[in-house]
Amino acid sequence: MHFFWPNEPLSWLRFTCLETFIDLNPDWKVILWRRKNVGAAPQWCSDEHKTPRPADLEDWRPNIKNLSLECREVPDDWQWYQQSINTTPLTNVHFKDMWNWTLLKNGEGFVADMDIIWLRSIPEFDTDANTFITVFNGAPLAGYVPVTMMGSTKPNQPPFCDALDRAIAGYNPEHYESCGAPCFNKELLHDHKWYNLGHIVYPIVTKYGAMHGVYKMIHFDMSSDITNEVGLHWYGGHEQSRWFENHINGYNDIKRLRGENREHENTITRLLTKHYELKKG
């Protein structure tokens, strides 16, 4: 499993993405990729990732050494970055999207976002029987496939080659999703062998729109509705989920917030409390 985090402070909530995945999938090799340079400031007009991080937010990067994972830096000779885009630096979002498509094109395994709370182990699967593409995500959104987690066990699979080509050709620093989910052509799934390993709850996929879905997750406890899903994608780009991320630096904060204000007895706090109670036995 490949994760990516840029050269910036890591919140506790994103640290728990790594921790919960490793706890639940001890046999998986986990690699955390990092970039050397600092990403460019967002230029897009939409609101994703616009909420700033507090200056006193605790940086959990030093705690990564306590996790069973391997840290690597994205190599300097990443060819598309120098030859195809011909611009520097990229925003962290576009950098991450491009790197993930590269890993998938090379058949390096799975990639996943860092704004997920993992709830159950990934089911076993037979790579020999499914030689093309494996997809693990939430429900289709706005006509394309969410790329919360995707996998490729063999190199040069056409859906991922096509996605990387589209990301390079369509790169636009003023468009948040220019290198992301819209680059994956779901029509290619009809022509290639693939299967879905499970389901990740994707809160912005609601008939009421993004605001309503994240609002419900942050302000209400919907954990009892999450029964068989493998993870919750809490959508870290949203203003409200970003605010919540900025206000918790560990389980003591969760206990305090749950004690002071029922508003914080929400989906995230309940699921994480349950995980750590099970972990402690």
Could you report the per-residue pLDDT of 197-248, keeping only the tens digit for each? 777 877 654 444 455 678 778 878 888 888 788 898 888 878 888 888 888 8
Of all residues in the chain, what percent carry a pLDDT higher than 90?
Answer: 27
Render pLDDT for 2-56 as a digit per residue (tens, 0 to 9).
Answer: 999 988 889 999 999 999 999 999 999 999 999 877 777 778 877 676 667 777 7
Which tokens is 179 given? Answer: 């290198």
Question: Quick check: 110 and 171 in contact, CB under 8 A?
Answer: no
168 to each of 57, 99, 130, 139, how far by Cα in Å?
34, 11, 28, 26
Alpha-carbon distance of 241 to 250, in angstroms, equals 16
Give pLDDT, residue 242: 84
Question: Quick check: 243 and 221 in contact, CB under 8 A?
Answer: no
Sheet with 194-201: list strands edge to edge. 70-73, 31-34, 2-5, 109-112, 149-152, 133-137, 194-201, 231-233, 116-118
Of 55, 79, 77, nearest to 246 by C-alpha is 55
64 to each of 69, 202, 236, how far by Cα in Å?
8, 26, 20
Give pLDDT, residue 87: 60
Alpha-carbon distance of 279 to 281, in angstroms, equals 5
